[in-house]
Chain A
Amino acid sequence: MNDKMIQDTLLVTPALLVPLLPLIGFLINGLFGKFLPKSITGWIAALAILGSFICTITLFNGTNSTSSLNIDIFDWIAFSNINISFGFLIDPLTITMLLVVTGIGFLIHLYSIGYMKDDEGYTRFFTYLNLFIFFMLLLVMGNNYLVMFIGWEGVGLCSYLLIGFWFKNESYNNAAKKAFVMNRIGDLGFLLGMFFMLFYFGSIDYSTVANQAQTLAPDSALLITITMLLFVGAMGKSAQLPLFTWLPDAMAGPTPVSALIHAATMVTAGIYMIVRSNILFSLAPTTLMFILIVGVATSVFAAVIGLLQNDIKKVLAYSTVSQLGLMFAALGLGAFSSGMFHVVTHAFFKALLFLGAGSVIHALHGEQDIRKMGGLGKYIKVTYITFLLASLAISGFPFLSGFFSKDEILAHAFEQNKTVWVILSISSFITAFYMFRLVFLTFFGKYRGTEETQKHIHESPLTMTLPLIILCILAVVGGLLGLPEVFHVQHAFSNYLSSVTEGSAQYLAHHEKVSHATEIALMSFAGIGAIVVILFAYNKYVKRSVLPLEDNSLTGLDKIISNKFYVDEIYETVFVKPITVLSDLFLVLVDKLIIDLAVNATAWIVSTSGKTMRLMQTGNTGFYVFAMVIGMMVLLIIRLFI
């Protein structure tokens, strides 16, 4: 047994503990939560995640960028020639995701302890949250697509549960249902993709699939089909056009949920999946092209909608969609590690933004409309500062985390396709604009709410602010993980992931790397652009104190945008209505009128002929004899002459 194997066996326990701890936390809270004091349940949940995080650190320390550890736990679906095991794969990509999930997950648990303190569903909340983490961990740790799919659907379920957390509200429930169903549409794609792999490759292990795929001709129909189907799955989960509408609605859930699930972790599962299958995707340039188009379109589309949203969380939601689009654009460009990098930095600042928004809402006792805020910077300083920094990060303010990760993507876009670069840049500027519109309207100027609420504005407790501060630090310095080579350092992040992504490099079209000078120019352009946009926003919302109009006084394009281009309405008319109509039609017309009528008509014919035939029995002997004679005659004639 060599050293590596010893090393590996030592890592199995922590690897198993990583998902197990949240599961245990879930079970304890779920089964016995009722009997435990309320305060303890939150801490149990948080500590479970902390445990996972510590185990993840152990894993991180125990491995390096080239190692990958495969743990088969048991045969799950195994008979005949099908063998799908339940197992984990620990490699740099997994560990990256694990760190994000458990790390941010822990912070958000911590935050929630404060945030949810007064909620009657406190224990339930943490139960769900732990379950979510468990599934998310399965998603990223699985060593084959089906285990990933468990997590994939599992997080969907938790998302459903958490969006509809306040289940007394009908519209929240609708939002939850919508999220689940839309995800399921994607899931069907994923499932079919798996079928293709299982059928043609005989396995759905990552490694086998990758190996088998390489035996096929690049861009073959099969590969395109598989990757397209997988991407459909990713579209659902990561809220890409046209399956994005659930994500803004998902903001119905408690804010920490939005932070954890609908910003930092679950929605990035699609990106994780594509990066995980990077060899497959790089073999299918057509799909990559498609991903690029979808990503870019989503990025701009969502950003535009974000411009006119007035709900603090909705703005952040569209921003998330937009950023996800950016990430997919990166993937579409073949820049897998850049995409992942943005996932990480995005997790930091977007989680922070949501938590900050949560803190604002907490301070205002549930007020979410930015038109009724303003001037909050004075009252809640920690929140204000962290929120501001996060906004700067997302806007691409130089040298904050978002700046680096975005630039990396933009640089790749510039290398390959100038149009894409232009569009993404615009989208990035729009982002900067609406983010600062949000910041300025919330924290600057005068308070626009009632006096009554004003009195109660207070800073959040430490359990809430601590995560804000930690995340803020990460959002600020997170970019250091991936300092570009311009700064004459190794790109730490992409190096770390290189073992995962290098396999695909050979299949990607090679583009001339932009020179360092150009890269610096690009960075400057982006940075300066962002600053200019921020200043413009400052001018508009702080200097001139322009307030967003009431919804019903909007006209023209504004109205369309603020109504999210009526996408929901279109879906309603195109899919939902027809199905309900079809349902009634099937029930009434086909089921009742055609099929059942056919059945009943048979019965009716029989019974009516019974009623008719009984009339033959007239009770009259003469008739009977007559009928007998006629009968005999007919029979004789039949026998004799026919």
Chain B
Amino acid sequence: MENTLQAVPQNWYLVLSTLLFCIGIMGVLFRRNAIIILMCIELMLNSVNLLLVSFSAYSGNSDGQVFVFFIMVVAAAEVAVGLALLMSIYRNVASTDINVLNKLKW
């Protein structure tokens, strides 16, 4: 395990995270279900986490890892709030489809 940093070029992590990030974006674009969009956003955040950790590991600087904690904190808070919002909407319109939410426009 010690030699991961030598065996795997750092750029691969970069590419992997970017790919993951883009999959997250695709998910947000692709789906209409608010919950799944929320999950895709989590995916995006996780790609960033991965990136940060890889940078941190490769540069031997633990700041990046600490930062990941904050991202987790925020992600948790975000999810809590997001799901609460979702619940309150679901009570009103009985749907999690974001396309239902189009009263406000133009």
Contacts and interface: CB of A to CB of B under 8 A. Distances in A.
**Direct chain A–B contact by Cβ atoms under 8 Å:** yes
Interface of A: 614-615, 617-622, 625-626, 629
A377 B99 CA distance: 109
Nearest to A625: B28
Given A620-B99, A621-B98, A615 B106 contact: yes
Contact of B102 (A615, A619, A629): A619
Given A629-B25, A629-B29, A621 B106 contact: no
B72 interface: no
Contacts of A620: 98-99, 102, 105
Interface of B: 25, 28-29, 32, 98-99, 101-106
A617 B106 contact: yes
A123 B7 CA distance: 121
A387 to B, nearest CB: 90
A614 B105 CA distance: 8
Contacts of B98: 620-622
Contacts of A625: 28-29
A619 B25 CA distance: 19
A622 B99 contact: yes
A621 B103 CA distance: 11
Given A617-B106, A621-B99, A629-B29, 4 more contacts: A618-B105, A619-B101, A622-B29, A622-B99
Nearest to A620: B102
A614 B98 CA distance: 20
Contacts of A614: 106
A629 B28 CA distance: 11
A618 B25 contact: no
Contact of B101 (A615, A621, A626, A629): A621
B102 A626 contact: no
A129 to B, nearest CB: 75
B106 A622 contact: no
A292 to B, nearest CB: 82
A633 to B, nearest CB: 10
Contacts of A622: 29, 32, 98-99
Contacts of A626: 29
A97 B106 CA distance: 83
B32 A619 contact: no
Nearest to B26: A629
A615 B105 CA distance: 8
Contacts of B104: 619
5 contacts: A618-B102, A619-B104, A619-B106, A620-B98, A622-B98
Contact of A617 (B29, B32, B105): B105
Contacts of A617: 105-106
A637 to B, nearest CB: 15
Nearest to A618: B105
Contacts of B103: 619
Nearest to B28: A625
Nearest to A629: B25
A622 B101 CA distance: 10
Contacts of B32: 622
A209 to B, nearest CB: 76
A597 B28 CA distance: 47
A626 B25 CA distance: 9
A615 B106 CA distance: 6
Nearest to A614: B106
Nearest to B105: A619
A125 to B, nearest CB: 73
B78 to A, nearest CB: 16
A619 B101 CA distance: 7
A581 to B, nearest CB: 48
A618 B29 CA distance: 15
Nearest to A616: B106
Contacts of B29: 622, 625-626, 629
Contacts of A621: 98-99, 101
A618 B101 CA distance: 11
